[in-house]
Structure 1
Amino acid sequence: MNETRLRPSPISATVDFAAEGVQHGFLRLPYSRDDSAWGSVMIPITFVRNGKGPTALLTGGNHGDEYEGPIALFDLARSLKPEEVSGAVIIVPAMNYPAFLAGTRTSPIDKGNMNRSFPGRPDGTVTEKIADYFQRTLLPMADIVLDFHSGGKTLDFLPFCAAHILPNKQQEQKAFDFVTAFAAPYSMKMLEIDAVGMYDTAAEEMGRIFITTEVGGGGTATAKSAAIAKRGVINVLRHAGIVAGAVDTGPTTWLDMPDGRCFSFAEEGGLIEAVIDLGDVVTEGAVIARIYSTGRTGEAPREIRAVMDGILCARHFPGLVKPGDCVAVMATVTS
């Protein structure tokens, strides 16, 4: 192992992971700054343990402008009682806490994208130090990991729970069983276009069961999207046997992202016009968006066309796009 990785984490927990009962505390990361020479980043955490059983690690705010996860997890942290639990539940509603407080995707301190910072470094940036603590302390404790995401300020998604295709088919099947239990309106076999440094990858390489979500977007949460997240996290705990009770099932449509053709990117900047809406069925070659030049009138818009049959599962949210922006994501319906 790299010598740097052998150094102890600078983060200390104010909760005791060996104790029974419920504890509300912090992951305290020393952070010296202009307004606080001996200051700290105080990341809220709740730990609930009761007897023997699996451990679930539940996280939101991996990106700071995504809100369904924090809503569901702050609510769960105040309401989950030890007597309801068999095993342990670790709740971190806002992983990248500086980004969460700023309402930004990345940290305002170091511009770190938490979901591209694993395995982290104990002597790195603030974001890398948080990632390192999850890598070496929290993930090894967990059996099942649920990391909430949504589209943030720049994307909007159909509400889905997802897992990845994995080399270990037993691990993969267990993950998709949890996706089924989450019972979102849509369930996804998800393809990542940039998996390097991801929390997902770190958990999966440890053999942990990892599931994630994309529940809405636009830098806000709706009553419907928050309700999906709240119901889903309880369903996951029930499926794991950590919380008693039957999974609250509902209809779900299974989607697949088979390859890179799912993604469409802007080659020029401008004003975007959505031609289809989320959930609409599209055939190969159909126009899914138009991009108008903002510097001159009278020019024909650039057309973005689907390169596969499927449905629109994600779209660019702001009205203006830049070259390289992802403007649309397609998926195929499998059931």
Structure 2
Amino acid sequence: MREHHLRPSPISATVDFEANGVQHGFLRLPYSRDDSAWGSVMIPITVVKNGEGPTALLTGGNHGDEYEGPIALFDLARKLDASDVEGRVIIVPAMNYPAFQAQTRTSPIDKGNMNRSFPGRPDGTVTEKIADYFQRVLLPLADIVLDFHSGGKTLDFLPFCAAHILPDKAQEAKAFDFVRAFGAPYSMTMLEIDAVGMYDTAAEEMGKIFITTELGGGGSATARTASVAKRGVANVLRHAGILKGEIEAEPTKWLDMPSDDCFAFAEDGGLVEFLIDLGGAVDRGAAIALIYPIGRTGVEPIEVRAKMDGVLVARHNPGLIKSGDCCAVLGVEVQI
């Protein structure tokens, strides 16, 4: 264990994680700044507990420009009654609260990407201090972790719930059972292209059941994607035995991301025109999109081609793209 992990977290909770009932409070992180010498970052949190039972840790706003999770979790926090719960629910609608307030993927304070900051540091940046608190305090309390994501301002996704292929096949199987229970229109066995420092990995290495989502994007939420998030989180709590009631089952299509060939990156910048929409099929070698150089007229667009047969799972947003940006993501339909 690194020495800084022996230091206490500077974050204090205004809720008691062991008390029965409904508590609304904050994770208070001291943050001295120009406009508040003894100021704090106040991260909203709700704890609902009723007797013994499993604990679900529900999080959104890991990236601050993704909104389905915060919508579902702020809604759940105001509605959930302790009498309907057996066990404990910990709700943090906006993990990276400074980023959420700024409507940005990363923190405006330190440019920290919360989902690349684990295990964090109690003596690090603001983002690292928040990650450290989750690593050392909140994750150890949890049995099941649901972390909501969507495409933010720069991607748009088919609405899916996902879990990872894991070395521990019993842990993996339980996670995919929760994905089924979530009941999104699509379900994904997910490949991460940049897994270092992820919240997902921190939870899974502790043996926690971890599931996540990608529910739309484009820097907003739709009525459809918000309803998928609300129904899904209730289903997860029911499947865990924490919330009373029957799972509201919905049909789901299973997708897999089997290799790096799923990803298509822009090698040139410009104006992007997609030739297929989300959910559309594409053949290996076919053009997914055209990128028009915008410096002059009369120049032929550059084709972005598929490296595999598949279905368009995600696409770049908005209309201009830069060299190196992820342009498109493909998945393949599978039977699970």
Identity of aligned residues (%): 78
CA distance in 2, matches of 1:2, 1:285: 48
CA distance in 1, matches of 2:154, 2:48: 35
Note the alpha carbon deviations across 1:78-116, whole angstroms, 9 max, x for none: 000000000000000000000000000000000000000
CA distance in 2, matches of 1:230, 1:149: 13
CA distance in 1, matches of 2:204, 2:239: 19
TM-score of the superposed pair, with normalisation by structure 1? 1.00
CA distance in 2, matches of 1:270, 1:282: 22
The residue aligned with 1:113 is: 113
The residue aligned with 1:163 is: 163
Note the alpha carbon deviations across 1:198-255, whole angstroms, 9 max, x for none: 0000000000000000000000001000000000000000000000111110100000
Over 2 Å off, 4+ runs: none
Shift of 1:125: 0.2
- State the one-letter code of the partner of 1:227: S
Alignment of 1:117-136 (within 5 A): 117-136=117-136
CA distance in 1, matches of 2:333, 2:282: 11
CA distance in 1, matches of 2:18, 2:183: 32
CA distance in 1, matches of 2:293, 2:221: 31
Note the alpha carbon deviations across 1:131-177, whole angstroms, 9 max, x for none: 00000000000000000000000000000000000000000000000
Q: What SS class does the counterpart of residue 156 from structure 1 fall into?
A: strand
- State the one-letter code of the partner of 2:63: H
Alignment of 1:117-266 (within 5 A): 117-266=117-266
The residue aligned with 1:269 is: 269
The residue aligned with 1:309 is: 309
Structure 2 stretches lacking a partner, 5+ long: none
CA distance in 2, matches of 1:250, 1:320: 36
CA distance in 2, matches of 1:304, 1:3: 47
- State the one-letter code of the partner of 2:221: A
CA distance in 1, matches of 2:98, 2:241: 33
CA distance in 1, matches of 2:271, 2:223: 29
Matched length: 335
Shift of 1:298: 1.2
Q: What SS class does the counterpart of residue 307 from structure 2 fall into?
A: coil
- State the one-letter code of the partner of 1:259: S
CA distance in 1, matches of 2:17, 2:312: 43
Shift of 1:297: 1.2
Alignment of 1:291-310 (within 5 A): 291-310=291-310
CA distance in 2, matches of 1:18, 1:86: 13
Q: What SS class does the counterpart of residue 244 from structure 1 fall into?
A: coil
CA distance in 1, matches of 2:269, 2:186: 31
The residue aligned with 1:84 is: 84
The residue aligned with 1:333 is: 333
Structure 1 stretches lacking a partner, 5+ long: none
Q: What SS class does the counterpart of residue 167 from structure 2 fall into?
A: coil
The residue aligned with 1:320 is: 320
> What is the RMSD computed on CA atoms of the aligned residues?
0.4
CA distance in 2, matches of 1:307, 1:264: 8
